[in-house]
Amino acid sequence: MLNENIKAIRKAKGLSQEELAIKLNVVRQTISKWENGLSVPDSDMLISISEIFETPVSALLGESIIEQEADDVKAIAEKLEVINLQLAKRKETRRKILHWVFITLCLLLVVIFVFFLTLNSAYLNWDYGNPETAVQGVGVHIFEWLFIRIAPVAAVIAIIGAILTRNRKLHGL
């Protein structure tokens, strides 16, 4: 709601994102993030926006105008708290997804490594006079050669990524 109100009032006032950004001393991308709901302005910035738009903060937040200033501050604080909780949930979901991607990458690397160990480079004994087995042998050899060189780096990155994205609350950090 806040993002839609900022966009609607900005357009009603005839301001571009760039013009509003200049008045607020922020970059245009910040205005775009607010209007697309990717982030929210803090309370000081909400006050600045309301002054530029000549609109009460409560109207920006979608409420009817309340005369008492204490109620305005309380309402703003409650709405910002809800928005902050939503953003925190999004961030936590992204962290979990990234964590499992790193763990999956580690497991995939182990599976491929075990596969190559059990294969025992059997392609070296293939009949390279036969075009089909020659192409397969070269393909497997290239994949194995690249894997052995890239896998250690990928494994280190995946392990570090999994460690950095783990849930710190559970580990007491």
pLDDT 10s digits, 15-68 = 999 999 999 999 999 999 989 988 888 888 888 898 998 888 888 887 644 444
Report the pLDDT value the prediction gives residue 95, as an integer from 0 to 100: 92
Q: Please state which of the ranges 48-52, 110-114, 124-128, 161-165 shows the lowest mean pLDDT.
A: 124-128
Contact, 116 vs 81, CB < 8 A? no
Give 92's contacts (C-beta < 8 A, 6+ positions apart): none
Tell me which DSSP letter residue 67 carries: S
Nearest to 15 by CA among 69, 54, 62, 46: 54
Residue whose token pair is 């995946």: 158
pTM > 0.85: yes or no: no
pLDDT at 109 over 50: yes
Q: Cβ-count burial of 128 within 10 angstroms (0-12 exposed, 13-18 middle, 19+ buried)?
A: middle
As a whole number, mean pLDDT of residues 102-114 equals 91
Q: Quick one: pLDDT at residue 112? A: 86
pLDDT, position 160: 93
pLDDT category at 147 given cuts 50, 70, 90 is confident
Q: Which residues contact 98 (CB under 8 A, 6 or more apart)?
A: 161, 165
Q: Tell me how far apart the alpha carbons of residues 76 and 64 are, in angstroms, rounded to a whole number.
A: 13
Chain centre distance of CA 137: 41
Per-residue pLDDT at 67: 46
pLDDT of amino acid 57: 83
Long-range contacts of 165-171 (CB under 8 A, 24+ apart): 165/95, 165/96, 165/98, 165/99, 165/102, 166/99, 167/95, 167/96, 167/99
Q: What is the CB neighbour count within 10 angstroms for residue 130?
A: 11
Domains of the chain: 2-65 (1.10.260.40), 92-164 (no CATH)
